[in-house]
Structure 1
Amino acid sequence: MCNKAMIAVVDNDESVRMALDSLLRSSGYTVRTYAGAHEFLFSDGPDVTSCLISDIQMPEMDGIRMYEELAAMGIHIPVIFITGNPDAQRPPGIGTREPIAFLPKPFATDKLLASIETALERHN
């Protein structure tokens, strides 16, 4: 499988970024990883990303705020939120956009991959 769609992973935990990078590349996706929301927002990432996987809780700017910033910029990337907080509530939609999925860590690989396929269908 070779997929030209760009998957962006935004998570401040390097081990999570590395694990997702490896999983997604082995599944045939093109992947870019970012250590935080600002790093993603101030790169070409928003312009080239087809699906965004973002941790909710990150220092400086959390994933939900990043999602709001993208919406304010007129950028509509399907997002999959992940979180290590078992008590976290599913984030609300921004405007009319709902997150594709909300996956508490650790999550099942097949659930993540199915969510990515849904995101890519919605992006196209």
Structure 2
Amino acid sequence: MIAIIDDDESVRVATESLVRSFGFKTSVFASPEAFLASSRMADTHCVITDVQMPDMSGIELFDVLRARGTGLPVIFITSFPEERVRRRVEEAGAVGFLAKPFDADTIMGFVFEALKGQPRPH
């Protein structure tokens, strides 16, 4: 399952539609807090998250996931692609960092990279 986290509903819907079109199951969340409080973490294989959101950012979510010891692959999407943020998340092990609007092939390339060695969707 791919978790998609973005406070912008149109981005959530579009990203979910794209990921589902490749046969993956998805769950969408309007905030990192909603994802962390959900029961879906256990069956999540990859996270696609916005960088800038109210309350908790995608980077803070990434830090929480790493502090909890999860090795979940994370792909960041952002409307504000700052080079210092890119460097920080890539050095910390993020799979990808994309500026919105992003290319479908590019984000799906990151998804397939994140899921290497995991079962393909049915």
The TM-score normalised by the length of structure 1 is 0.87
Which range is displaced more, 65-74 or 55-64?
65-74
Would the aligned equivalents of 2:59 and 2:89 in 1 still touch at CA under 8 Å?
no
Question: Which secondary structure does the structure 2 equivalent of 1:8 belong to?
Answer: strand
Where in structure 2 are there 5+ consecutive unaligned residues? none
Cα distance in structure 2, aligned partners of 1:123 and 1:77: 12
Alignment of 1:1-124 (within 5 A): 6-87=1-82, 89-93=85-89, 97-121=92-116
Identity of aligned residues (%): 41
Would the aligned equivalents of 1:78 and 1:122 in 2 still touch at CA under 8 Å?
no
Where in structure 1 are there 5+ consecutive unaligned residues? 1-5
The TM-score normalised by the length of structure 2 is 0.88
Cα distance in structure 1, aligned partners of 2:102 and 2:116: 21
Deviation of 1:117 after TM superposition, in Å, equals 0.3
- Residue identity opposite 2:107 in structure 1: L
| Corresponding residue pairs, total | 118
Deviation of 1:93 after TM superposition, in Å, equals 4.3
Provide, for residues 3-25 of structure 1, a one-character-per-residue CA deviation record: whole Å limited to 9, x for no partner.
Answer: xxx00000000000000111111
**RMSD of aligned C-alpha atoms?**
1.9
